[in-house]
Amino acid sequence: PVPQLIEVTETSQGYDAAGLRLRLQAEVPGAVLDDHARWRKPLVAAAARLKMLGWVSGLLIAAAVGAMVTLAANAALSANAQVIAVLRLVGATDAYIARAFVRRFTLRALSGAAVGTVLGVGAVALLPSGGETAGFLTGLSFRGWHWGIPALVPLLAAVVAFAATAVAARRVLGGLS
C-alpha cells in the first residue's frame, strides 16, 4: 500500500505538534507525524555557515583588492620618481601629487568594479526561475530591494582603493624626499 500524506501548512505561530499527533492517532491509528526537523536542522545550520563563508569571502576579496591597489600604487609612484622630482621642483606639493595618484586609482577601481558588478548581476538574472522543473539553482537570485545590494560593490571597491592608494602615496612620497 502507498502511504497517504497530509500536507500541513504552518502559520507564523507554528502548529501544535502534540495536539496534531493525538488527533492523528485518534482518527488514523498507526499514523506518523514527521515534520522533517531532523532533516531541516542540519540544512539550516549549513546555510548559516555558507552565509558566514560569504561574508568572510567578501572581506578576503576586499583585503586582496587593497593589497593589489597598494602594490600598483607603489609601483606607479616608484616608476615615476623622476617625474615626481620635477613636479616638486616646479612647486607641486606631496598632497597635490598624492591626490593625482589617488584619484586615478580610485576611478580605475570604481570603473572596474562597476563593469564586474554589471556582468555579475547579468549572470544572476540569467539563472533559472523558481519553477518546479528548474533544478537545483532555483532561488539563487535577488528579490525586491536586494537587487540594490550589488550597487554597493563598486562603491566599496572605490573606498578600499582610495584608502590603500592614499596610504601608499604618503609612504612612498615621504621616502622619495
Q: How far is CA 33 from the centre of its chain?
A: 39
Output the pLDDT for position 52: 96
Output the pLDDT for position 151: 93
pLDDT over 70 (residue 144): yes
**Phi-psi region at 131: left, alpha or beta (left = phi > 0; alpha = psi -120 to 50):** beta
Indicate yes or no: pTM above 0.85: no
The rounded percent of the chain whose pLDDT value lies above 90 is 53
Per domain, the residue ranges of the chain are 58-175
Output the pLDDT for position 114: 97
59-63, 80-84, 128-132, 139-143: range with lowest mean pLDDT:
128-132
Q: Which of 10, 71, 62 is nearest to 35 (CA)?
A: 10
SS3 for the chain, per residue?
CCCCCCCCCCECCECCHHHHHHHHHHHCCCCCCCCCHHHHHHHHHHHHHHHHHHHHHHHHHHHHHHHHHHHHHHHHHHHCHHHHHHHHHCCCCHHHHHHHHHHHHHHHHHHHHHHHHHHHHHHHHCCCCCCCCCCCCCCCCCCHHHHHHHHHHHHHHHHHHHHHHHHHHHHHHHHCC
pLDDT tens for each residue of 97-130? 999 999 999 999 999 999 999 999 999 888 776 6
With cell 570603473, the residue in question is 111
